[in-house]
Structure 1
Amino acid sequence: MSKIDGEVLSFTHGNKEITLRVFGDEFYARYESLDGYTTIYDTDLKKYCYAYLNNGKLSSSGIDITDPSPSDLTRHIKEDPSIRSEKFSMRYNELRPKDEKKNFENNMRAIGPNNGLLEGRSITKGVVRGLTVLVEFSDLSSSVTVDDVSNMLNGDNYQENGNFCSVSEYYKLMSSGKLIYNNHVVGPVKLPNGIDYYKRNLLIKDAMDILVRDLNIDLSQFDSTNSKIVDAVNFLYAGRTVYEKQLWPHNSHADLEYNGYKIDLYMLSSLGRGPSDLSIGTFCHETGHLLFRFPDMYDYGERDGDREKSQGIGQYCLMGSGNHLNNGLTPSPVCSYLRDLAGWCENKIILNELTGKINVQHGDYNTILKYNTDIENEYFLVENRTSVDLDKHLPSSGLAVYHCDINGSNEYQAATPTEHYQCALIQADGNLDLENNRNPGDNRDLYGNIEGLALSYNTNPSSRQWNSKDSGLIISDISDSSMNIEFTLGSNV
Structure 2
Amino acid sequence: MFSKKTDRICQERHLHPSVYKKIRKTRDLIEKGLDPEEFPDKGGLDLRTFEALKKRRQDQKQTMMNREEKLVSQYGSLEAAPLTVGPCKKIEPVIGTRNVLVLLTEFKDVKHSHDPLEFEDLLFSKGSHKSMRDYYLEASGNQLDITGKVNEEWYSAAGNRVDYVDEVPVNRHYPRARKLVKETILQAKNEGKIDFTPFASDGKIEMLIVVYAGKGLDTGLDINYIRPHQDRLEEPLEVQDGIWADRYCLVSELPFNDIGCYCHEVGHLLGLPDLYKEGYSPVVGSWCLMGIGDHLNNGRTPAHPSAWCKIHLGWREPELIKKPPEIQDIPAVIDDDGVIYKLEVQGSGGREYFLLENRQQKGFDRYLPGNGLLIWHVDESRCVYQAPNSDPEHFFLTLEQSDGKNELQRDMTVLIKEEGVEVAQKELTGDDGDAFPGVTVNRNFDDKSNPNSNSYKGTKSLVRVNSISDSDEVMKAHMGVQTQSRDESRETPADAIESSADETAKLVLQSFIDLMIKEEDEDPYDEGYEAGKLDIIEEEKIKPDLNLFKKGYKQGYSQGYIDAWEKFRNTK
Q: CA RMSD in A?
A: 4.0
**How is 1:12-411 mapped onto 2 (pairs within 5 angstroms)?**
23-25=14-16, 29-32=19-22, 38=25, 52-53=29-30, 59-61=36-38, 64-65=41-42, 84-88=53-57, 117=87, 124-159=94-129, 165-186=130-151, 187-199=153-165, 201-202=176-177, 203-223=180-200, 225=201, 227-242=202-217, 244=223, 247-254=226-233, 255=235, 256-259=237-240, 260-272=242-254, 277-290=256-269, 292-300=270-278, 309-346=280-317, 348-353=318-323, 355-362=325-332, 363-364=334-335, 367-374=339-346, 375-376=348-349, 377-408=351-382, 409-411=388-390
Looking at structure 2, the residues matched to 397 and 364 of structure 1 have their Cα atoms a distance apart, in angstroms, of 14
Distance 1:105 1:452 in 2: 36
Distance in 1 (CA, whole Å) between partners of 2:277 and 2:238 is 34
In structure 2, how many angstroms separate the alpha carbons of the residues matched to 1:381 and 1:241?
A: 35
8 Å CA contact 1:250, 1:267 repeated in 2: yes
Give me the whole-angstrom Cα distance separating, in 2, the residues matched to 1:297 and 1:105: 19
Distance 2:36 2:290 in 1: 33
Using a 3 Å threshold, how does the CA distance of structure 1 residues 245 and 122 change in structure 2: closer, same or farther?
farther
Residue 118 (structure 1) shift: 6.8
Measured in 1, the distance between the counterparts of 2:456 and 2:40 equals 51
**Equivalents in 2 of 1:148, 1:338: separation in Å?**
30
* CA gap 1:486/1:87 in 2 versus in 1, 3 angstroms: same
Query: 2:566 maps to what in 1?
Result: none
Change (3 A) 1:385 1:155: same
Q: 1:350 to 1:24 in 2, by over 3 A?
A: closer
Name the amino acid aligned to 1:310. S
The amino acid that maps onto 2:211 is L
Rounded Cα–Cα distance in structure 2 between residues aligned with 1:8 and 1:54? 20
C-alpha displacement at 1:398, in angstroms? 1.4
Distance change in 2, residues 1:427/1:38 (3 Å): same
Identity of aligned residues (%): 24
- Which amino acid is 1:229 matched to? K
Aligned to 2:475: 485
Is the Cα contact below 8 Å between 2:39 and 2:46 reproduced in 1?
Answer: no
SS in 1 for 2:231: strand
Range with bigger deviation, 292-301 or 388-397: 388-397
Q: Bigger shift: 456-465 or 478-487?
A: 478-487
| Partner Cα distance (1:58, 1:392) in 2 | 50
**Structure 1, residues 431-470: CA drift from partner, whole Å, max 9, x if none?**
1212213322222111127879511111111011222222
| 2:36–2:47 CA contact under 8 A, matched in 1 | no
Aligned residues: 423
Q: Which has the higher strand share?
A: 1
Show CA shifts across 1:204-228 (max 9, x none).
Answer: 11111111111432222111x3x11
Letter in 1 for 2:244: K
Deviations 1:59-107 (A, max 9, x none): 55156458xxxxxxxx999999985452358899xxxxxxx99x96869
Q: CA deviation at 1:115?
A: 6.9
Give the superposition deviation at 1:153. 1.1
| Contact 2:327/2:477 (8 A) holds in 1 | yes
Cross-structure match for 1:43: none
State the one-letter code of the partner of 2:117: D
TM-score by length of 2: 0.65
Matched residue SS, 2:342: strand
Q: TM-score if structure 1 supplies the norm length?
A: 0.75
Change (3 A) 1:166 1:77: same
The aligned amino acid for 2:227 is W
* Stretches of structure 1 lacking an aligned partner (at least 5 in a row): 1-5, 10-19, 40-49, 67-74, 93-99, 160-164, 302-308, 415-419
Measured in 1, the distance between the counterparts of 2:35 and 2:361 equals 42
Mind listing any 5+ residue stretches in structure 2 that lack a counterpart?
Answer: 1-5, 72-80, 167-175, 383-387, 416-427, 481-489, 492-554, 556-572
Letter in 2 for 1:441: G
Q: Separation in 2 of the partners of 1:55 and 1:83?
A: 21
Query: Cα distance 1:53–1:338, how it changes in 2: closer, same or farther (>3 A)?
Result: same
Higher CA-based Rg: 2
- Give the Å deviation of 1:23: 3.5
2:446–2:454 CA contact under 8 A, matched in 1: yes
| Deviation readout 1:325-378 (Å, 9 max, x if unpaired) | 1111111110011111111114x3222236432221221476321112231211
SS at match of 2:210: strand
Instruction: Say if 1:56 and 1:80, in contact at 8 Å, map to a contact too.
Output: no
Residue 436 of structure 1 aligns with an amino acid whose one-letter code is: R
Supply the distance in 1 between the matched residues of 2:442 and 2:429 (Cα, whole angstroms). 28
Find the partner of 2:431 among 442, 467, 477: 442
Secondary structure at the counterpart of residue 408 of structure 2 = coil
